[in-house]
Chains A and B, each alone.
Chain A
Amino acid sequence: GAVVSQHPSRVICKSGTSVKIECRSLDFQATTMFWYRQFPKQSLMLMATSNEGSKATYEQGVEKDKFLINHASLTLSTLTVTSAHPEDSSFYICSASGSSGGVDTQYFGPGTRLTVL
């Protein structure tokens, strides 16, 4: 199946700093990418949907100025957590969708564990 990578897999940062997480589709062109957040023992919560070359669409309650999403190419999307605080510590997962752009073609990355001290 299609492969989606995330980098880094794990990051620890100090409170107040910004962290960038990359999501890459390795063997297909991703017209749409999704960013999820997963709390321990909880489900994945969709944060935002981004289409290549367009502004991301954020879910209700997600601060767009805090979680900056860029989808500049068909193989790369980035999530930047700005001025991170301990409550932003979480597991962040991206997924990428191919030409149909729908949920039935979503491929998930392995996730990035963010710890804010």
Chain B
Amino acid sequence: AQSVTQPDIHITVSEGASLELRCNYSYGATPYLFWYVQSPGQGLQLLLKYFSGDTLVQGIKGFEAEFKRSQSSFNLRKPSVHWSDAAEYFCAVALNTDKLIFGTGTRLQVFP
């Protein structure tokens, strides 16, 4: 079955530490890939997206993600986490341009 998996429900890191959030997808073809961040009281904000081309994608707020076709993965990374990065992060895919399929999310907690 087609699916998007975020294996980590909850991750805790110290401020300044590096971060990697995992995302795997199961589709017959390479989908469009997205990472969103959801903060309380705010709408989902797009961090970055991959459609084609360079497999290392740079996003906003210092985030990047790497598409690995062989692993069907699109992991999100940040070299140094800030306390303001604490939020819920969603990986999403789209097979065409009209419907997003979301993973279950990873809650990031940042300790000072």
Contact = CB atoms under 8 A, between A and B. Distances in A.
A104 B44 contact: no
A108 B100 contact: no
Given A43-B105, A44-B90, A44-B102, A103 B97 contact: yes
Contacts of A103: 32, 34, 94, 97-100
A110 B98 CA distance: 21
A102 B43 contact: no
Nearest to B10: A41
B104 interface: yes
A110 B41 contact: yes
Contacts of A109: 43
Contacts of B32: 103-104
B90 A43 contact: yes
A91 B51 CA distance: 29
Contacts of A1: 45
Contacts of B90: 43-44
Interface residues of B, number: 24
B9 interface: yes
Contacts of B102: 43-45
A46 interface: yes
Nearest to A9: B41
Nearest to B105: A43
A111 B99 contact: no
Interface in B47-101: 49, 51, 90, 94, 97-101
Contacts of B99: 46, 49, 103
20 contacts: A4-B43, A34-B100, A42-B105, A43-B4, A43-B90, A43-B104, A44-B90, A45-B102, A46-B101, A49-B98, A49-B99, A100-B97, A101-B98, A103-B34, A103-B100, A104-B32, A104-B51, A108-B36, A108-B44, A110-B41
